[in-house]
Amino acid sequence: MEDNSFGTHEFFELCEQLGCKTYINGNVGSGTVQEMSEWVEYMTFDGVSPMAQLRKENGHEKPWKVDYFGIGNENWGCGGNMTPEYYANLYRRYQTYVRHYDHAAPIKKICGGPNVDDVNWTQKVLDTCFASPHPDKKFHGYMDGLSLHYYVHPGGWDSKGSATDFDEKTWYQTLAKALYMEDLIKLHGDIMDQFDPKKKIGLIVDEWGTWFDVEPGTNPGFLYQQNTMRDALVAAVSLNIFNKHCDRVKMACIAQLVNVLQSVILTEGEKMILTPTYHVFHMYKYHQGAKLLDSVLTGVEKVGMKKCEVPALQESVSVQKDGTVTVTVANLSVDNSYPVEVVFMERKPEAVEGSILTNEMHAKNTFDRPDTVKEEALADVTLSERGVSLTIPPCSVVSLRIR
């Protein structure tokens, strides 16, 4: 049970230990401008003020760095059931008081964006935020990002289905819905392009992932669900999509980290296991900070069933500063292996290493068997005159590092 003892200080301590950036969200639905303003001051002001003094009295002399600050959350629903125009006017007001006390480390402000395909929300929020009086185009609607929330539940919101007990039809329904993320990025990106053609505003996909029924016998309010190879494939295709649209998608946060929804970690007392989703993130880490390369798959068949056909293979490719190319490929087929040749147009590879995550579609890690699904070295990958050749087995994710 969360007793609210994990607060501001604990959050920043966790972020410091993890070495990650910080993303704070302020309460617009039932909070005041003063509350938000004073919280920002408490966290980031390195001077003499009541809030800075309170922070010091609570044990932290120096201010923290807030990288991102969300002004409100899901204000179209649980955050206040607001209209887009009403929220956007509140956003303009509240963000004014998210002050940059350290101009060398400005806070990036995130505006509350749409739920799934609500283009009306996107259009009218941007209309209002860009409306007069507006001081300068360089302020791009007073925002650095616009959030988007989208969850995958194959049976729909009212019938999400089991996280572990599913058939092939449900497998393909799930992956088809995961692939819909690309349509959403294009849908909202087209509207954003009308206001922000230079893509200064990032699309912040700060809630995504699978959402199934809770595990039997657990508290329904805790949203605890197991994690199988199906979740791994959802993570893989989603990350490939985000990579391919990195000109607009600037952040993507899976929901959530530990014990809730599509977690990367599950715990039980002092025990901890890594989920299949964790291993996908580990395999994709080399894309972070790299440069996207153009890539295309040819000769890919469709698999699945009517209304939920999906491409058998899906990929993304990037290159790091040292010239190492990372290729990630997902095989969405439950049954079929496919030969894959990675062909380069302008280089001849000299070395390759790879890893693979594969198992039967229901496979999962448990506290009794924590390594049923794990990343392993990919043995059968060879260099050719044109590139790299391999066979990717069904229900698998592959990561290649090519030099």
pLDDT digit string, tens, across residues 385-397 = 889 999 999 999 9
Q: Does residue 1 belong to any structural domain of this protein? A: no
Average predicted confidence (pLDDT) for the chain: 96
Domain co-membership, 95 together with 221: yes
Domain count across the chain? 2
Where a domain ends, among 259, 291, 323? 291
Task: Please tell me the predicted confidence (pLDDT) of residue 347.
Answer: 83
**pTM (two decimals):** 0.96
Q: Does residue 21 belong to any structural domain of this protein? A: yes
Domain that holds residue 361: 293-402
Phi, psi of 76 (to 5 degrees): -75, -10
Question: In the chain, what is the straight-line distance between the N-terminal and C-terminal CA atoms, in Å?
Answer: 48
Domain co-membership, 317 together with 251: no
- Report the CATH number that the domain containing residue 374 is assigned in CATH: 2.60.40.1180
Task: Please tell me the predicted confidence (pLDDT) of residue 149.
Answer: 98
Phi, psi of 145 (to 5 degrees): -155, 155
Q: Is the pLDDT of residue 2 over 70?
A: no
Task: Please tell me the predicted confidence (pLDDT) of residue 139.
Answer: 82
Domain co-membership, 52 together with 174: yes
Domain co-membership, 112 together with 225: yes
Q: Does residue 179 belong to any structural domain of this protein? A: yes
Angle between helices 229-244 and 168-195 (to 10 degrees): 20
Q: Express each pLDDT in 49-103 by its tens digit.
A: 999 999 999 999 999 999 999 999 999 999 999 999 999 999 999 999 999 999 9
Domain co-membership, 261 together with 279: yes
Task: Please tell me the predicted confidence (pLDDT) of residue 135.
Answer: 64
Task: Please tell me the predicted confidence (pLDDT) of residue 181.
Answer: 98
3-state secondary structure 289-330: CCEECCCCCCCCCEECCCCCCEECEEEEEEECCCCCEEEEEE
Where a domain ends, among 241, 261, 291? 291
Secondary structure letter of residue 160 according to DSSP: -
Task: Please tell me the predicted confidence (pLDDT) of residue 138.
Answer: 75
Domain co-membership, 203 together with 313: no
Domain co-membership, 222 together with 133: yes
CA distance 299 to 391: 14
Q: Does residue 268 belong to any structural domain of this protein? A: yes
Domain co-membership, 118 together with 232: yes
Domain co-membership, 307 together with 286: no
Where a domain ends, among 276, 291, 306? 291
Domain co-membership, 358 together with 315: yes
Domain co-membership, 302 together with 237: no
CA distance 53 to 55: 5
- Report the CATH number that the domain containing residue 68 is assigned in CATH: 3.20.20.80
Catalytic residues: 74, 207
Q: Is the pLDDT of residue 25 over 90?
A: yes
Domain co-membership, 266 together with 323: no
